[in-house]
Structure formats: structure tokens, C-alpha cells
Amino acid sequence: MPDYSWPSPATSALIGKRVTRVDAPAKVSGHAQYTYDYHGKNMLFGKVVRSPYAKAKIVSIDVSAAEKMPGVKAVQIIQKAGSTVQWAGDEVVAVAAIDEATADDAARAIKIEYKKLAHLVSDAEPPAGAGEAAGPFSSDDIDDAIGNQLPDKQFIEALQQRGVSFKPEEDDLKDWADEGASDDVINAIRKAPFHNTEGQQPHSFFQKAAAQTQGDPDKAMAEAEVTSEGLYGATVIAHCCLESHGSVTEWPDKDHVFTHISTQNVSGIAGQMADPLEVPAANIRVHQDNMGGGFGSKFAADRWDIAAARLSKKAGGRPVRIMLERDAELQVAGARPSAYARVKVGAKKDGTLLAWQSTSWGTGGPGGGGMPPIPYIFSIPNKRAEHTTVRNNIGPARAWRAPNHPQAAMITMGALDDLAAKLNMSPLDLWIKNLDIAGPRKDTYREELGIAAELMDWSNKWKPRGTNLSSGIARGLGLSIHTWGGRGHNSDCDVTIHPDGSVEVKIGTQDIGTGTRTTIAIVVAETLGLPVEAINLYIGDTLYPPSGGSGGSTTPGGVSSSSRRAAVDAREALFAQVAPGLNAQANDLECVNGTVRVKSGPSRSLSWKQACSKLGAMPVTARGKNPDKSKPPDLTNSGVGGVSMADVAVDMETGVVQVKKMVAVQDCGLIIDLKTAESSCYGALVMGISYALFEEKLFDQQTGRMLNPNMEFYRLAGLNDIPELVVHMMTGKGYDERGVIGLGEPPVISPGAAISNAVANAIGVRVPILPITPDKVLAALSQSTRAGAQ
Amino acid sequence: MPDDQSKTPESVGSGVSRRDFLKISSVSAAAVPVLGTRIVKASGAPVTVYGPGRVPVELNVNGQLHKLQIEPRMTLLDALRDELQITGAKRVCDRAECGACTVITDGKAVYACSVLAIAAQGKRITTIESVMQGEALHPIQTAFVENDASQCGFCTPGFVVALKAFLDQHPKATPDEIRRGLSGNLCRCGTYHGIQQAISQITQRGA
Amino acid sequence: MRAFEYAAPTTKEQAVSLLGTQWGHAEVIAGGTDMLSLMKDDVVRPKRLVSIQQLQGLDGSSSSRGLEISAVTTLAELANNINVMKDYPALADAIDEAASPQIRNMATLGGNLCQRPRCWYFRGGYGLLPKDESGKDLAAAGNNRYHAILGNAGPAKFVSPSSIVPALIAYGAKIQLFGPKGTRELAIENFYVIPKSDGEREHDLKPNEIVTRVILPGADKNLKVAHYEVRQKAAFDWPLAVAAVALRMDGSRIQDARVVMGHVAPVPWISGEAANVLVSKNYSEDLARQAADAALTKATPLSQNAYKVQLARVAVKRAIVKAAGGTS
């Protein structure tokens, strides 16, 4: 059997080096085509009429005036009279017309009568006495329970009693096993009774989850020598993808659908469109060249995408474009759930963690949101964690890079940082002191904390809370650690070597800005001993072998593994043809630097082109898969650790926070391209600064609407808000041999917590909730002054 | 409105008569009522009023003159993207808040989303499509490529165009000044570090 | 955006004659950065847009009256004008801090003076004096974190949006308007009014008037002017509070003072209280602090914006310190 294992970065030509992003020239020249740029022949422009109310019954819809307007080609009712809209911006009707202006006029001509219903858009602390969950587990509930390390016995009993509301798939079970669920739990999920909950409305805005307990939290807390209490949390934020959600869909004939869609999930879209469009998935082609940002919010064929397809059918198959406008993008196309927690943590005087108690809540819109996995990373021996989901009318949540982890980090690392202050310990010492309970990556954290501290000059710069003040500017340092899975997803890849030496790679994945194209090109080029430019790479189409959605940091492991196996097999097929001419055994050949040569006698070699000409008339194609137990070893792995440190300056008179420096130290197993890997971390630090200081979806309880569905008051950090950023990737022994692990989620988890801790260190008091805006800083300062005066 | 009564459906400014225009528009598949242009008397002098239907508009984009039939309400950005299919400038906020639609008109960086196409007539409009020097990347683009200053790339054309306009006007700008000069552009993936590195490279090597 | 007809007259007389006598029919467009957003958001629905960017005869000039600036001068042109940089540096500062390079290339001085408030209820379609269907004051009872802390006793709770007007007022600038009855001039502060009922606007501008010029009084060597604004983001962000301060100094003695705040009230807010503290005193940082306190003693914050009182106080203090030549 050929050797599929990864070459060592020490000897490889490309793997682990800083390779320039292969599609960068197209992007900087404006030639890169995005879904929004696609202009089909005779394309129609779609517009969506949205509910102005957060909760309302649709009484009547009159589309007659719109239908009669010249230039209007189709009108599609999305939610019929009698339906209840659950958030402001909910889709009700869509129109398609010959140009955008006409579509706009037609949308305005549609008359919809609503009966307003009571809504909730606030996510303030739930009233005491919210009811406990009794219904079956959803897949999100199971994610939560595993993330929160719910003890097996408790988990299995609950699964037997409450059942599940979905039919678990093998992929899910495997993911859960990767995330640490025991075989007993996996079996219990498999066997849990199925209860259908579809169509059932939640009865209350609040739903309390079962308390998660471990050890004896009350006793341990009573025995703790030091305790610390506080409130920590993060508000709802948006994805704010620069390329909004949407698609251009046409019917080339009455049985076939062709959609250009902005998606993280090229291979998964057809299956989602098939049912609503009543077309076999095999008849649906999905295409995307480039994608302008998703961050977890673009896995679905959304309601507006289905509407575009239906409008197209009504209009005789002409392409219909519906790309969301910015206000809709911010209102309905993605939100990260909020999470808040009142935490009490207890420790020995030396910092040893003993007990954790938390009462948390948060919202992810009408469906609720998950409980963050708290306490995060540190498995405190005695704990009780209670969570209430707020189900309100702010629109649905979507996965936002590292779902639930940034919130968990903010809550946990904030609480531990406050404890450290109470113990008069440096948080760095407290963290190191407790690494024994930090799970499987504890040694990684230890190493990373040392490197990060050096890069931050922590030992020289760190001062006890509130003691680093000069000319009205307070300085402070903070840190946080994080973890993520990141095992490679299912992926198929075809590599073809042509007799003329050209190489073709086809894979139904997508590059969402993370450098997936570059990763695949490097793997195939490395395997064939060619430069990256020699690889003709085709992605982003259902014409190519299916590859998983780009979520949960699963893409690098998936596509690198399948493309490696495909390239090795294609290479072996070539070797078989070339070996006799070189008077060698096929297994004694290697591809190096544009040649095929004999390992035991490198002077016997052919140029790549000469070698490929031995193929005769037919190219060779090999299909690689991931996972593939028949072709070991496993080329991907799961579980990474990372550290963020922040250095901030706070203007004590205005409460304006400036980040002065950030450090990220991260592992992700074997790194394929160091350059784009580092970029993922730099980008995550920027996103972290942005959500720590600026971002917040603001809702108005009176009108039920989002107040800032625009980019002036939904603030994103700009170039001038970004300080010196330092990124260090862990490589070498202990990392490289683990295989490829994804990187999209982990580095974005900790920056918010690290910045919050740095602000607390600077000003001497916790600003409990992200984002840390001047009003909150001033409020925290004045509260502490008042408390001090008492 | 004053003087509104003196409608004179006669020939209009751009040399296309109203009759010609109606002929053009009838073949352009526009079933919407085309009102074209007309003359009103304003303060004793004739003034052309355009629209609200489609009217002839000429845009000089990347050195090429394009003749369009569009409504006055169409922005320059939408005219570029939807009429001319010049799509390097992106529509993101559509409210002069993000910079993804940045183009250069008469040497100045502007937000194409907040300029009416009809008001952009007679200006030299430069988009990202003409920043390359023939087949070669402009030094700004090379610096962006080498320093990995794009991830999803949707904001990138706006940044490159804004930077080109700024450096054309301020060839000796310091990195700090350049950062300020790019404050009208936002990125979501967080490529600012790469952009900072690209700026350093440009100030060292020149653009 | 709704359909409209468009005219680009060449004289101000034509422009005015193309405008209506009532609001709502026609709107003036210059740089377009605010007007097009208002129209896209369906807040303003003109049937006709009258462009004034190409008007002839509005050129600025330098004369014995001071510096006359055409209203269609872009903010970038103004900030880079050699006379402005030399004689009105605080104005150049204020412009440099405003919005973004692209907006400064597009937006005109007149448009900056006439831009509409950023109040999210107004921009969301609930009116300048926003109310819900039952008539409840949305800004008073809702999220008013960026709203007024002064001059907010009536139904107007928004803040005057221009961040450069305080500096213009500090310099004593005048605004020149042209309408069917000819030209009129008024001090810029008098151009702004607090609307008391629906249908009133926040400017003293007739529907068929246009802003033609801004006139800055002649340079005064003894007048020390400074602009300071508190923003959350380092750039391209609306200020949370703005202050512009003009001090006429004789050595360290303050002979005359003008303290103007922005983003704190429905109009640019001139604080006589602060000026009174400063006049006829020798400058000190402590005096600056006292004046800043005085500027905000009458503040009446709403439910969520008490923090802005502190921010405005800091802005005033720092502007005074900066004007007097100290470091802020």
C-alpha cells in the first residue's frame, strides 16, 4: 500500500511554508467573481417584503397592484395570511422584476395587513421561576450537554426519559464522540425514543435547562478559602458578512435548477432545495466561485433562496437574483446568541480551584440559544450550572465562529480573572496553577502561555489591578485560553494527471476566505513534486466530488486528507507506467522538484512532462476520500489549544478603550500553509477586538425592531482601531505529527475575554458585559467609586 | 411646484431627441413608462428635467464611454454593476458606510453607492478593473498579494482603489497618514494586519 | 429608492425656482452622501431632486469680510484650503476628524450644515419627533444612548449631527442663504432650531431656499480656537460629544470666550455658563475644569445617556486646554 502519511515539514517543499494565497491576484484585481457579481442572461431582480413587526399575525396580503405593474414578472407569497411572523424583517412576499427599481416599486405596492402580537426582544435576566425543560433533546441540546461535560449517568437518564426530537445521523454521533461523549452516551443517543416536536410552539419566552452538577458544589464553596462573585456576558452580535446572503437561481428547463449561491456549503445545498422545489437533488446544480464572508451563517438554502427559485420558475426559468440588502443582512441573516452568567467561584488561598456555581441565560432568538460550555476548559471538581434560554423575537441565531465558545470564555476567564485579583495573584500564575484540570490540551496551554507571556513581555508589564495609571490613562493586561475540535469533515476529491503533464483537481468544496484553494493546491503540488501554479484546481460546484460544508473548522482536515489520498493514488498510477522505462520498481520512485526519479538512484530521472507522456492516450484519475480507514493513517485530528493576551489603554475620563497590543499563540496540528494560517489568527484578533469593543445588535422593545441595521451604528473595527498584533503558530514535534486540524474557530474565542480582563486589570473593576463601550466603562468606574465610599 | 406647467417635450441636452429616445427605449425591452427628459422654465430660462423614467446617460469608465438608458434614481454603483457588469466595486452597505464600492472620479476616491449615475456624467471614472498595469499587478496589488491582505476578498477592491487614490494624491505619505487615508474602508475577515504590512512595504519600496 | 425627476440647473435662481414651497416635493442634492441614504431608507421621498453642485457664481473668495466659502465646496477641498489651514486650523482639524476620506471628497460644506439627524428612530421612519402608533415618544422611552442631554425638554430628542458646525460657530461664521426673495445671512447658530411640532425642521431653511456660502470672519491672531471630539472608534465614527472653544487671549488672560458643544442637543449648543466662567480670568487647567462643569450643569440626560454628560464635560475641558495652548 502506498504511504499516504504527511511528509515532514522539515523536508517538504511547500507544506508548512509561507505560501502565497493562490487566488490573491484575482481578489486584488477585482476579477474574482462572487455570487453577487453573477449576472445571468435576462436576469430578473428580486425584492423581499419583510414584516415591520417583531411578532404579528398576517391578516391579509394583497399583491394585485404589484402583479399588474409593468416589468413585474413574478410574485411569490412566502408566508400566507394566517401565519405568524416571529421577528421584524421576517420574509412575507417576494417579487421579481426586470430591474431593481421596478422590483422596489412593486414591493412597495404590496399591501399586507398585520395584527400585532406581544413580542419580546430584550434578553434581560429571566424572572425567577421559569419552567424547567421537559421536552425531548434537540441536537443543539445534546451539543450543549456534551460541551458542558454533563455527567454520563445524568445525561443517559435524561436521554431515556426525555427522548430526542430528531433522528441522529452517524456523522453527528461521530462528531459527538470526537467532542468527548463516551460510548455509553453515544449508545444512549442512538437508542433514545424519538418524539416529533415539529409545529409545536414554545409555550414561554423562557425555558430552563436541567441543572448540571458535579461533585458537591455547596460543600466545596463553603469550604473555599476565597470566593469571588460576578456577572459576565456578551450581547447578541451579527455576522455582518460583507457579501450579503443570497443567490441567483434559474431553471434551464422545467426539470432542472441552477443556482449561484453565496454559501459555505456548496455540496449540501442541492439536498436542501430538493424538497421545497420538488426536484430531485441530482437535478440541482450549485455553483460558487468566491464567497464574501460567512463566519458560520451560510450553510442553508434560505427562505429567500427558495423564493428566488420559485420566482424564477414562475417567470419561465429566467434567473432571479435575491441578494439581501444590508439592513436585512443585519436583521435576519445571522446572530451570535447572547450569554450572561452570575458566577461564584471558590478556591484555596494558593489558587487551586474548588467550586463553581453559575446561573446563566441568553437568547438565540425564537428557537432559543445554546448554553455556553461553562466553566470553560477548567473542569472544576465541584460545580452547579443552571441555564435559562430566552426565546425572543429577534430573529434566528446562526453558528458564529466557534459557537458558544467566545461566550463561555468571557464568562469563565472573566470569573477566574476576578478570582485572581482577589487572591492578589497574577492571572498567569492562577491559570498555570490549575492546568492539571484543563483537559487533554493542558501541556499545550502550558507551553503556549510561556510563549505568549514572552511575546507580551508579561512579567515586566503586568501590574496588579488599577495600579498602572498615568496622565489619566490606565493600562492593563489580560489573558484567556481556548480549545476546539476541528477534525476534518467528509470530503471526496479527484486528482487527474494528463499525458501532457497538466494536473487537474476537482473537489466540491468552497474557499470562504480561509485559503482552502491554497491548502488543496499545496497538498497536491507537494505530493506530485510540482509548483503550486501547476495545479489546475476546480472547486465550488456540484459537478465535482462532494465535500463537506465549511463549518466548525473541519475543512482543512477534510480537503487536505482527501486531496492527499487522491494525489498519492494518481501518483502511484503514474509510477506504474513510468517505472519500467526507468528500470526501477514503482515503489522506488519519487516526485521531486518537477521530476520523477528513482529514490535509490536519483540520477535516473524523467522530467514531469516526460514522465506523464508515458501514460499514453489516457489520463489517470484517482478519487481520494476522507475519512478512509482503508488508506491509513488518519491524516486529520481533533483538539487544539490556544492563548490570547491583550494590552489595553483606557481613558479614565471618557471610558474609551484602545487595544495597544495583542498576542495569539495557537496550535492546529500540522500546518499546510503557514501564511494563511497566520492570517486566520490575525483576522480572529481583529474580529475579537471588534466584538469586544464595538459590536452589538440593538433592539427596541417598543417597536420590536433592530435599531442599528446599518454599518454606522453596527460598528466594525477599522484599520485605525487595530494595534500591533503578534501571532505565533505552534509547530514541530508534538504538533506536526498530529495531522491537520482546522483553525477557523479557535483563535476568535479568547480575544474578547482577554480584552475584558485587560480592561479590568487597567481600571481596577470589571466591565461585565461585552462590548466594552464608554458608557459601560464609566458606569463600572462610578459604581466602584460609590462602593468604595461606603 | 413653480414653472412646472411649461413642459416642452422637445430635444434634450445630450443630443438625443425625445423621439429618438422613445425609439431606443421601445427596443430596450422596458415595459415601464418612459418619461425621458423634458424642458421646464425655471427663473425664465429653460432647464432640462430628467426622468423619472429612463433617460440617456453617458459614463466614462476606465477610459471608455458607455451609453446607458437608466432612471435618474440609479446609483453609479448599480450602473457599473448591473448595467455595465463591471463588478469589481462591491455593494455592501449601500449607505456610504463601508468603502467596498470605492471608485475614483476625477482623481478622487468616492463611494459609488452614494453618487447618482446621472451626476457622474462628464467625470473620469476609474474602477479596480483598470488598476492593473496591463497584465501586471500594480505595486499596491503586489503588496496586498505578498502580505496576504485579503481573505474573503470582498472588501479588497475597495481598499486597493482607496489606497491608489490616496497615494496618487499623497505620494510621500507616512504609514500613519496612509492608515488615516484608508479609514473609510472596512473589512470583516480582519485583514488589517496584512494591509498594515502592505502599507509598510509600499512606503519602503514605493508604489 | 422611489422614482424622482432630476434637474441640474446652472444658476441659483433656476435652482430655487425648481424647488417647491412645501417640504416633500423637491429636495436639494449636492454631495449626496446623506440625501441618497435618506431616500434609500424611504425617510425622504422627493418627487424631484435639484442638484446644486454645478451652480455657477458660488465661488468663494477672500475679502475684507473674511473668507467666503462656496456651499458646494467639498469638505476635502476646504480642509486642504491653504487659508483655512493657516487661519482656521481648528476648522481644518474638525473636518479631518469627520467621516471618512471618501465622504470628505464627496460631501459639501452646505450639505454638512443641512444633513439630517442620525437618530435611529428618525432614520427608521418614525419621524423626526418619533412616536409610535399610540403617540408615545419613542426616543424618551426607548434607546436614547446617543440622544440629547441638553435642550431636550420638548419632543426633539435627537442631536444635531454636524461635527464641524461647533468649530464654525466658535469662529463666528455666518451662513448665506438664497431664496425667491434674494439673499439672507445669519449667524450659523441661528440657522439651527429645535422643532416643537411635526412638520417643523431642525433648520431655518425654507423649502425653496439653498445654502450658498459660509463666511468666516477675518483671521484674528488673538483668537485661539480648538476642536475636540470623543469617539468610540479611532476614525470613521460619529462623535459621542464634540466641543469647539474660541478664546480671545491677552497673554494668559481670557478676554472673551465662546464654548460650543455638538452631539449633545438638537442644535449646536452654545454654553454661556462656561464662557462666563472663563472671561476675565487667567487661564489654568483648573479654570478649564470649572468651565466644563458649568457647561453641563443644566444637562438633563435621558434614561440611558447620563454618560454623555461626562463625555461632553471632558470634551469641553480638553478643547479649552487645547485652545489655550496646553496639551489636552
Q: What is the pLDDT of residues C189-225, one digit of tens each?
A: 999 999 999 989 999 999 999 999 999 999 999 999 9
> Are A108 and C2 within 8 A, CB to CB?
yes
Distance CA A295, CA A687 (A): 11
**Cβ(B149)–Cβ(B191) below 8 Å:** yes
Min Cα distance A464 → chain B (Å) is 30
- The pLDDT value given to residue B10: 35
Min Cα distance A555 → chain B (Å) is 15
Position B8 pLDDT exceeds 60: no
Min Cα distance C323 → chain B (Å) is 24
Distance CA A316, CA A309 (A): 11
**Cβ(A610)–Cβ(A577) below 8 Å:** no
> Are B98 and A242 within 8 A, CB to CB?
yes
Q: Where are the alpha helices (DSSP H) in chain C?
A: 12-18, 35-40, 75-79, 82-87, 89-97, 101-106, 109-114, 120-121, 138-141, 165-171, 188-191, 272-278, 285-296, 307-323
Q: Closest chain C residue to A720 measured between Cα atoms?
A: C234
Position A661 pLDDT exceeds 70: yes
Position A414 pLDDT exceeds 50: yes
> Are C48 and B3 within 8 A, CB to CB?
no
pLDDT classification of A243: cutoffs 50, 70, 90? very high
Position A147 pLDDT exceeds 80: no
Pick among B12, B32, B38, B73 to test the C interface (most C CBs inside 10 A): B73
Position A790 pLDDT exceeds 60: no
Select the residue of A34, A515, A716 nearest B186 (Cβ to Cβ).
A716
Q: Nearest-CA neighbor of A239 among A326, A336, A322, A328?
A: A336
**Cβ(A202)–Cβ(A165) below 8 Å:** no
Pick among C103, C229, C233, C309 to test the A interface (most A CBs inside 10 A): C233
Residues of chain B contacting residue A26, judged by C-beta atoms under 8 Å apart: 153
Q: At what angle do helices A139-147 and A170-178 cross, to 10 degrees?
A: 10
> Are B99 and C100 within 8 A, CB to CB?
yes
Distance CA C2, CA B72 (A): 10
Residues of chain C contacting residue A104, judged by C-beta atoms under 8 Å apart: 1-2
Distance CA A770, CA A237 (A): 10
Select the residue of B145, B155, B194 nearest A682 (Cβ to Cβ).
B194
Position B83 pLDDT exceeds 80: yes
> Are A715 and C237 within 8 A, CB to CB?
yes
B50 touches chain C (CB under 8 A): yes
pLDDT classification of A204: cutoffs 50, 70, 90? confident
Select the residue of C2, C17, C47 nearest B42 (Cβ to Cβ).
C17
pLDDT classification of A143: cutoffs 50, 70, 90? confident
Residues of chain A contacting residue B88, judged by C-beta atoms under 8 Å apart: 29-31
Residues of chain C contacting residue A713, judged by C-beta atoms under 8 Å apart: 118, 120, 146, 238
Chain C residues in contact with chain A using a Cβ-Cβ cutoff of 8 Å:
1-3, 118, 120-121, 123-124, 126, 132, 136, 138, 141-143, 145-146, 230-238, 240, 304-305, 307, 310-311, 314
Q: Where are the alpha helices (DSSP H) in B10-125?
A: 18-27, 76-78
The one-letter code for the residue type at B8 is T
Neighbours of chain A (3+ CB pairs under 8 A): B, C
> Are B1 and C49 within 8 A, CB to CB?
no
A775 touches chain C (CB under 8 A): yes
Distance CA A310, CA A313 (A): 5
Q: What is the average pLDDT score of chain C?
A: 96
Mean pLDDT computed over A234-262: 98
Q: Helix/strand/coil (H, E, C) string of A532-580?
A: HHHEEEECCECCCCEECCCCCCCHHHHHHHHHHHHHHHHHHHHHHHHCH
B60 touches chain C (CB under 8 A): no
- The pLDDT value given to residue A789: 64
Report the 10 Å Cβ neighbour count for A86: 24
C53 touches chain B (CB under 8 A): yes
Neighbours of chain B (3+ CB pairs under 8 A): A, C
> Are C37 and B114 within 8 A, CB to CB?
yes
Min Cα distance B52 → chain C (Å) is 4
Distance CA C310, CA A651 (A): 12
> Residue A602: is the preceding peptide bond cis (ω within 30°)?
no
Pick among A18, A20, A28, A722 to test the B interface (most B CBs inside 10 A): A28
> Are C234 and A658 within 8 A, CB to CB?
yes
Q: Which residues contact A368 (CB under 8 A, 6 or more apart)?
A: A202, A207, A389, A390, A391
DSSP-derived letter for residue A209 is P
Residues above pLDDT 70, as percent of chain A? 97
Distance CA A777, CA A765 (A): 9
Position B17 pLDDT exceeds 90: no
Q: Does ipTM surpass 0.95 in this model? A: yes
Q: What is the pLDDT of residues A480-530, one digit of tens each?
A: 999 999 999 999 999 999 999 999 999 999 999 999 999 999 999 999 999
Pick among C34, C105, C208 to test the B interface (most B CBs inside 10 A): C105
- The pLDDT value given to residue A146: 77
Does residue A428 sit in helix, strand or coil? helix
Q: What is the pLDDT of residues A82-140, one digit of tens each?
A: 999 999 999 999 999 999 999 999 999 999 999 999 999 999 998 876 666 667 887 87
Q: Which grid cell is A770?
A: 461585552
**Cβ(B98)–Cβ(B113) below 8 Å:** no
C16 touches chain B (CB under 8 A): yes
Write the burial class of residue A161 (CB in 10 Å: 0-12 exposed, 13-18 middle, 19+ buried): exposed
Q: What is the pLDDT of residues A478-493, one digit of tens each?
A: 999 999 999 999 999 9
Residues above pLDDT 90, as percent of chain A? 87
B166 touches chain C (CB under 8 A): yes
Whole-Å CA distances, B177 to A466, B174, B183, C152: 33, 5, 10, 39
The one-letter code for the residue type at A295 is F
Residues B163-166: contacts with CB under 8 Å, at least 24 apart: B163/B199, B163/B202, B164/B104, B164/B131, B164/B138, B164/B140, B164/B207, B165/B102, B165/B104, B165/B107, B165/B108, B165/B109, B166/B109, B166/C101
Q: What is the average pLDDT score of chain A?
A: 95
C 153-182 → B contacts, CB under 8 A = none
Q: Which residues contact A218 (CB under 8 A, 6 or more apart)?
A: A384
Q: Closest chain C residue to A710 measured between Cα atoms?
A: C120
Q: At what angle do helices A303-314 and A266-277 cross, to 10 degrees?
A: 60
Residues of chain B contacting residue C101, judged by C-beta atoms under 8 Å apart: 109, 162, 166, 180-184
Residues of chain A contacting residue B29, judged by C-beta atoms under 8 Å apart: 98
Mean pLDDT computed over A748-773: 98
Distance CA A256, CA A783 (A): 64
Report residue A39: phi and psi, to 5°: -130, 95
> Are C233 and A708 within 8 A, CB to CB?
no
Distance CA B190, CA B170 (A): 26
**Cβ(A523)–Cβ(A673) below 8 Å:** no
Q: What is the pLDDT of residues B121-153, one digit of tens each?
A: 999 999 999 999 899 999 999 999 999 999 999
Parts of chain C with a pLDDT under 70: 326-328
Q: Which residues contact A68 (CB under 8 A, 6 or more apart)?
A: none
- The pLDDT value given to residue A198: 64
Q: Nearest-CA neighbor of A573 among A628, A494, A490?
A: A494
Residues of chain A contacting residue B162, judged by C-beta atoms under 8 Å apart: none
> Are C18 and B162 within 8 A, CB to CB?
no
